[in-house]
């Protein structure tokens, strides 16, 4: 049966991206329309929107139809599209919202039936339960099982509920604030970014916006001094023999390795006698860095292993899966005996890396600070970044000079401190920055 295309009523559709319509038009011109479009008894379109648009493109006036009576025409569109061209992510969210609403309506109907029958809604629900989503039974090859609605909806799209939920959050953000987040949803729909990366980007943007307000007042009352610029120039402001500890994380790329020579020279000038410098280093360049430090006059003390958590990086050239990173420890002159034994293995936590790509866990800094410094002693971090060392310094009441060449990194530091404070206020624990351990070193106890 054929009818004029303009006689078909096309209502709101879930699909926005119609794909390669010109290619479909060419195929229809050469091979004909192999499958009719589906409409209900009122000629309202159920599925076949792409075919209609393709036919319009080549000036076809009539189109074959298949008439189908469905209680819910949207369900027909869902069946059609899951078996053919995949939905975009934004279309999946629209379908999810629609099906979730149908589930809520069905639940209310079951409750109403239960009240009328005077029976148990729970038993009624079990008796009448099915695998249908909003009155629609998905194709059998989707294997959707009974369970929570949210899980069944996610399984319908062959993904976890968490992933689908994160996509919905991106969609909602783009809908309510298109100027800020619309491009993110477009990238996701266009396949230029994966869902988990898009959601992390959403978190980053929101957090930066939420925490963009600078910390009220000066940081001087926190004993934190921030210096913007190249540490080789800015550090000239730091007095000789005035620093109790240098703890830092320079860039790891090969072109940055010579910075360790400048760092070594700085340490020899500003560290107090018998004070330490502990720095993260890339395994590949340990020999070069050792030479820089020793030639500058520093004494090698030890290597501390930081055991990593979460997904591991790989060094493809040397076929290494990286599960730990070294902290090289040097001293200026001969060190006195430590107040306590220092463990050379640190089990690190996985950092969020939301505010800064190089953000480190605070666990390592706390481990070092507690043994090598006491309250009010001064720590220098020439590559302060997002400020893990600053958070530790504030919490343990150490003074800190933080240097970074990137003004965005210093803003991230301020935001990081603000975030830590806000989290604690919401937890109702303390206005101080939180760190996992509350133990004090013997040196701190003696100092008090």
Tens digit of each residue's pLDDT (9 = 90 or more) over 60-88:
999 998 776 545 444 555 555 554 456 67
Strand partners, 322: 313
SS3 148: coil
pLDDT digits (tens, 9 = 90+) for 86-135: 667 887 787 777 667 777 777 788 788 878 776 554 554 444 444 444 44
On the question of pLDDT at 441 being above 60, the answer is no
Give the CA dihedral 236, 239, 242, 244, nearest 10 degrees.
Answer: -10
Q: Tell me what the mean pLDDT of segment 224-243 comes to.
A: 93
Q: Tell me what the mean pLDDT of segment 323-331 comes to.
A: 95
Q: Which has the higher per-residue pLDDT, 328 or 201?
A: 328
pTM across the whole model: 0.52
* Mean residue pLDDT across the chain: 77
Task: Categorise residue 57: left if φ over 0, alpha if ψ from -120 to 50, beta otherwise.
Answer: alpha
Q: 314 to each of 29, 202, 291, 438, how far by Cα in Å?
A: 51, 26, 26, 34
| Backbone torsions φ then ψ of 387, nearest 5 degrees | 95, 30
Does residue 95 share a domain with residue 6?
Answer: no
On the question of pLDDT at 264 being above 90, the answer is yes
Give the CA dihedral 19, 25, 26, 32, nearest 10 degrees.
Answer: 130
Position 172 scores a pLDDT of: 92
Q: 441 to each of 40, 379, 417, 435, how far by Cα in Å?
A: 77, 17, 24, 15
Q: Tell me what the mean pLDDT of segment 33-48 comes to.
A: 81
Contacts of 30 (CB under 8 A, 6+ apart): none
Task: Categorise residue 135: left if φ over 0, alpha if ψ from -120 to 50, beta otherwise.
Answer: left
CATH of the domain at 59: 3.90.1530.30
What is the Cα–Cα distance from 84 to 391, expressed in whole angstroms? 53
pLDDT digits (tens, 9 = 90+) for 163-183: 989 999 999 999 888 888 889
Does residue 322 share a domain with residue 183?
Answer: no
Strand partners, 226: 402
Residue 444: band (very low, low, confident or very high) from pLDDT cuts 50, 70, 90: very low
Least confident range of 178-192, 326-340, 361-375, 410-424:
410-424
Does residue 179 share a domain with residue 267?
Answer: no
Q: Which has the higher per-residue pLDDT, 209 or 168?
A: 168
- Write the burial class of residue 55 (CB in 10 Å: 0-12 exposed, 13-18 middle, 19+ buried): buried
- Residue 241 in contact with residue 271, Cβ under 8 Å? yes
Beta strands 345-347; 313-315: pairing state: unpaired
Return the H-helix or E-strand segment holding 403. strand 399-404
Helix orientation angle between 49-57 and 21-31, rounded to the nearest 10 degrees: 70
Number of separate domains in the chain: 3
Beta strands 2-4; 62-67: pairing state: antiparallel
On the question of pLDDT at 239 being above 70, the answer is yes
Centre a 10 Å sphere on the Cβ of residue 220 and count the other Cβ atoms it contains: 8
On the question of pLDDT at 138 being above 50, the answer is no
Does residue 226 share a domain with residue 281?
Answer: yes
Does residue 225 share a domain with residue 200?
Answer: no
What is the Cα–Cα distance from 430 to 422, expressed in whole angstroms? 10
On the question of pLDDT at 185 being above 50, the answer is yes
Does residue 159 share a domain with residue 140?
Answer: yes
What is the Cα–Cα distance from 445 to 168, expressed in whole angstroms? 51
Position 81 scores a pLDDT of: 58
Looking at 83, 109, 144, which one is the last position of a domain?
Answer: 83
Does residue 113 share a domain with residue 78?
Answer: no
On the question of pLDDT at 358 being above 80, the answer is no
- Residue 144 in contact with residue 130, Cβ under 8 Å? no
Does residue 206 share a domain with residue 254?
Answer: no
pLDDT digits (tens, 9 = 90+) for 381-427: 999 987 788 888 888 899 999 999 988 778 777 766 666 555 544 54
Structural domain including 14 reads 2-83
- Write the burial class of residue 169 (CB in 10 Å: 0-12 exposed, 13-18 middle, 19+ buried): middle
Position 14 scores a pLDDT of: 59
Tell me what percent of the residues of the chain surpass a pLDDT of 90: 34
Helix orientation angle between 149-156 and 89-117, rounded to the nearest 10 degrees: 140
On the question of pLDDT at 142 being above 50, the answer is no
Does residue 320 share a domain with residue 185?
Answer: no
On the question of pLDDT at 250 being above 60, the answer is yes
Does residue 175 share a domain with residue 283?
Answer: no
CA-nearest of 222, 226, 281 to 249 is: 281
Looking at 56, 83, 110, which one is the last position of a domain?
Answer: 83
What is the Cα–Cα distance from 300 to 289, expressed in whole angstroms? 11
Tell me what percent of the residues of the chain surpass a pLDDT of 70: 71
CA-nearest of 252, 217, 239 to 401 is: 239
Centre a 10 Å sphere on the Cβ of residue 7 and count the other Cβ atoms it contains: 11
Give the CA dihedral 164, 166, 168, 174, nearest 10 degrees.
Answer: -150
CATH of the domain at 285: 3.40.50.150
Does residue 368 share a domain with residue 239?
Answer: yes
Q: Write down the residue that tokens 């080549």 correspond to.
A: 58
Position 189 scores a pLDDT of: 85
Does residue 239 share a domain with residue 198?
Answer: no
């Amino acid at each position: 049966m054929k009818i004029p295309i303009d006689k078909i009523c096309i209502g709101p559709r879930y699909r926005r991206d119609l794909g390669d319509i010109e290619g479909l038009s060419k195929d229809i011109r050469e091979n004909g329309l192999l499958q009719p479009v589906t409409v209900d008894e009122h000629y309202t379109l159920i599925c076949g929107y792409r075919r209609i648009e393709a036919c319009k493109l080549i000036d076809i006036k009539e189109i074959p139809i298949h008439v189908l009576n469905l209680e819910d025409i949207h369900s027909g569109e869902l069946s059609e599209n899951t078996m053919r061209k995949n939905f975009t992510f934004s279309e999946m969210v629209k379908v999810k919202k629609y099906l979730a609403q149908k589930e809520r309506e069905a639940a209310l109907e079951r409750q109403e039936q239960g009240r009328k029958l005077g029976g148990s809604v729970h038993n009624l629900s079990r008796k009448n339960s099915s695998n249908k989503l909003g009155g629609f039974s998905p194709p059998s090859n989707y294997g959707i099982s009974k369970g929570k609605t949210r899980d069944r909806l996610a399984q319908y799209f062959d993904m976890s509920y968490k992933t689908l939920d994160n996509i919905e959050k991106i969609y909602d953000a783009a809908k309510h604030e298109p100027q800020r987040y619309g491009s993110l949803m477009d990238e996701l729909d266009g396949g230029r970014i994966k869902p988990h990366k898009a959601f992390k980007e959403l978190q980053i943007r929101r957090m930066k916006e939420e925490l963009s307000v600078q910390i009220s007042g000066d940081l001087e009352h926190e004993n934190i001094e921030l210096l913007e610029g190249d540490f080789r120039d800015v550090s000239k402001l730091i007095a000789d023999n005035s620093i109790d500890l240098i703890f830092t994380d320079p860039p790891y790329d090969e072109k940055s390795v010579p910075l360790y020579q400048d760092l070594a020279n700085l340490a020899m000038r500003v560290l107090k006698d018998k004070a330490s410098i502990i720095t993260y280093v890339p395994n590949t360049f340990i020999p070069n860095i050792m030479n820089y430090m020793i030639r500058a006059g520093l004494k090698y003390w030890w290597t501390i292993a930081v055991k990593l958590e979460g997904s591991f990086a790989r060094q493809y050239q040397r076929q290494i899966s990286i599960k730990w990173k070294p902290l090289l420890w040097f001293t200026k002159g001969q060190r006195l005996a430590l107040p306590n034994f220092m463990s050379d293995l640190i089990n690190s936590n996985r950092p969020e890396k939301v505010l800064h790509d190089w953000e480190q866990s605070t666990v390592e800094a706390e481990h070092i600070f507690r043994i090598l410094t006491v309250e009010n002693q001064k720590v220098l971090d020439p590559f302060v970044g997002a400020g893990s060392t600053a958070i530790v310094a504030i919490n343990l009441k150490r003074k800190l000079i933080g240097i970074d060449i990137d003004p965005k990194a210093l803003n991230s530091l301020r935001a990081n401190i603000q975030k830590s404070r806000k989290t604690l206020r919401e937890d109702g624990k303390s206005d101080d920055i939180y760190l996992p351990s509350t133990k004090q070193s013997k040196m701190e106890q003696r100092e008090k």
